[in-house]
Chains A and B, each alone.
Chain A
Amino acid sequence: METPAVVESPPASSARRAKQPARLARRRFQPRMLIPYLFVLPFLVLFIAFFVAPLVYAFQQSLYKTERSGLGFGPPKIIWAGAENYLAVLKDPQFWDGFWRVLLFGAVQIPVMMLVALLMALLMDSAVIRFRRFFRLAFFVPYAVPIVIAAIMWGFFYSPTASPIVQTFIALHLPAPVFLGPTATLWSIANISTWEFTGYNMIIFYSALQSIPQEIYESGRLDGLSETGIALRLKLPLIVPALILGVLFSIVGSLQLFNEPIILKNLTGSAITTHYTPNIFAYNVAVVNTDFNYGGAIAVILGVVTFVFSFGFLRLTRGRLGV
């Protein structure tokens, strides 16, 4: 990636630089002025067709309900329901069952994963100097594995017969762990998410650490800070923005949990129900039962909850993001 020498304007944040308009487009008022719109047109068309329209349509569907007359004979009538579906979802114990489950999931899995990722990033940045390249590769590889395949693989590790973990326990005459019991299942799923994304988060933290100018550490050491002191007092605050983004995406991911439990469903007997997570519930209502009205309401509520959580989290950490 070579850039001609002429270009480099003095380092300014990319966001700030973009705000200075390219002068030319504004100077001449001509058909030329339409050109930028031609550039963004394909994106806008797709955005309207596959982002705005679906959300609007799902919302609209959620405001109606289907009524079957009498004994279920005769054509069903679609009638206005207003907020009825929404109130029904909010009173639906199946929805709340899934919701509390993903909340518990996130409350445990996210801190564990972030802590491990952060510690490893700090370790790679300071204590260990050899094999950095190898470690970085090894940690990042799981992220390249599709979640479906990760769940299939871990499914074998959780199986009572094929699992190398269980095989080892049995060989040592120890009681073998049960991974897919009624309560263990959630944490076995959490392990799959942790496996997928710890390295990914670590790489993000590590890149953030690498882009910190070394002089800061020099001055820290001159001030008599220990290595741990430098890590905690200097490095940690500087990568807080990366940490916030990582947590944000993890919150969204937890609330939306779907793939792993769906893949493991067959292996777990009855542990994974049709309302195990809100997304699985919405899927079963909207797709399996083709109830767009109630399914639409669940999807909208889930979308709003996700937005509220991520927006709330951003507000809570406002000013720390630095972008």
Chain B
Amino acid sequence: MASLPLTERMRRASSSAGAPRPIGVRPFGVKSAFGYVALIALTIYCLTPLYWLAIAATKGNTDLFSSFGLWFAHFNLWQNLADTFTYDGGAYTHWLFNSVIYAGVGGFFSMVISLLSGYALAKFAFRGRNLIFGLVLGAVLVPQTTLALPLYMVISKINLANTYWAVLLPSLLSPIGVFLARIFATDAVPNDLLDAARVDGAGEFRIFTRIATPLLVPGMVTIFLFQFVAIWNSFFLPLIVLSDPNLFPVNLGLATWNFDPAAHELLYNQIVTGSFIAVLPLIVMFLFLQRYWRAGLAFGSVTG
């Protein structure tokens, strides 16, 4: 898979079912019937919980338990939305806003930082380059959860615990982002173009911003997307470094509603509706930015 240029890989990835493929084009037979059955079974497995979530978000607390889970009961969505957004002084609204800040701001700056390093690793020869790239590769393999407890220790040591920074600053570091940026820069920015600009006397930062960056926009979207989703989905680190509910991201907030045994039963409809709302931006981003997802996945990116 590494032998095709990136542009070609992205084109193939986005052309999906379009390109006619001689192999596999066969009349509908027993084998393909079996294939459809297997694929449809997996589709049902993948989509049923989300279908349930959408239905459940329209139900009141009693109906959640007394009516059949996969079909509508009394339509209570508007009340659920009002409850979710206003309960406890609008806590959920606050969490949603926090998540947007953490994932949006963190994702953006993380993307910029990754892009700078990835570009340098791809396009400059300098002492220590291989060492740095080795560190990046090693760090890609270290999952966030391994790092979370040590991070928590350091963050409490420097009195950063329970601030926005405790979540925001560590999320700026994205080894996988650097890794992807290096591949994108290698593939999408031609050396000849850079050399020509240098001959014309352009400075390196100018070359980076004016020549390289426009060519790297698709790669930037991919890197931003992955980091946005990673931050939006992160749970362990916020759980241990934050104690003030006003700073919680939406995941952690929902989890605390879910943890609280006393409030639990009264909050079911809000937990469900809140989960539904928190999933929506990700599904929308996923649907509209599909080819960028796949461009990143093609390189075996890390899981949440």
Contacts and interface: CB of A to CB of B under 8 A. Distances in A.
B6 interface: yes
Interface residues on B, range: 35 or more
Contacts of A26: 125
B92 interface: no
B3 A11 contact: yes
A172 interface: no
Contact of B52 (A132, A137, A153): A153
Interface stretch (A44-52, A80-88, A174-182): A44-52
A207 B147 contact: no
A147 B304 contact: yes
A147 B190 contact: no
B266 interface: no
B173 A153 contact: no
A43 B149 contact: no
Contacts of B205: 35
B121 interface: yes
Interface string A295-311: 11001001100110010
A154 B49 contact: yes
Interface string A124-152: 11111110110111111111111111101
Contacts of A211: 1, 4, 9, 12, 298
A42 B115 CA distance: 11
B125 to A, nearest CB: 3
A123 B233 contact: no
Contact of B125 (A14, A22, A148, A307): A22
Contact of B204 (A35, A55, A210): A35
A47 B233 CA distance: 21
Contact of B139 (A51, A128, A227, A286): A51
B116 interface: yes
Contacts of A286: 149, 152-153
Contact of B150 (A8, A40, A54, A203): A54
B123 to A, nearest CB: 5
Interface in B1-26: 1-7, 9-13, 16-17, 21-26
Contacts of B5: 8, 11
Interface residues on A, range: 35 or more
A138 B192 contact: no
Nearest to A287: B240
B22 A214 contact: yes
A120 B2 contact: no
Given A44-B132, A58-B153, A154-B49, A1 B1 contact: no
Interface in B37-73: 38-39, 42-43, 45-47, 49-50, 52-53, 56, 64-65, 68-70
Contact of B145 (A156, A167, A246, A279): A279
A198 B43 CA distance: 11
A150 B188 contact: no
A242 B2 CA distance: 11
B31 interface: yes
A232 B140 CA distance: 31
Interface in B76-105: none
A50 B304 contact: no
Contacts of B239: 262
10 closest A-B pairs by beta carbon, nearest first, are A21-B125, A164-B69, A7-B190, A54-B150, A39-B120, A127-B35, A58-B150, A36-B124, A43-B117, A146-B233
21 contacts: A7-B193, A22-B123, A24-B194, A39-B117, A43-B178, A47-B139, A50-B169, A57-B150, A138-B47, A143-B303, A146-B235, A146-B251, A148-B235, A149-B278, A162-B65, A200-B303, A210-B13, A242-B1, A249-B300, A259-B236, A287-B152
Interface of B: 1-7, 9-13, 16-17, 21-26, 31-32, 34-36, 38-39, 42-43, 45-47, 49-50, 52-53, 56, 64-65, 68-70, 113-114, 116-117, 119-126, 129, 132, 135, 139, 141-143, 145-147, 149-154, 157, 169-170, 172-173, 175, 178, 182-183, 186-188, 190-195, 198, 204-205, 208, 215, 218, 229, 232-233, 235-236, 239-240, 251-252, 254-255, 258-259, 261, 264, 271-272, 275, 278-279, 282-283, 285-287, 290, 293-294, 297-298, 300, 302-304
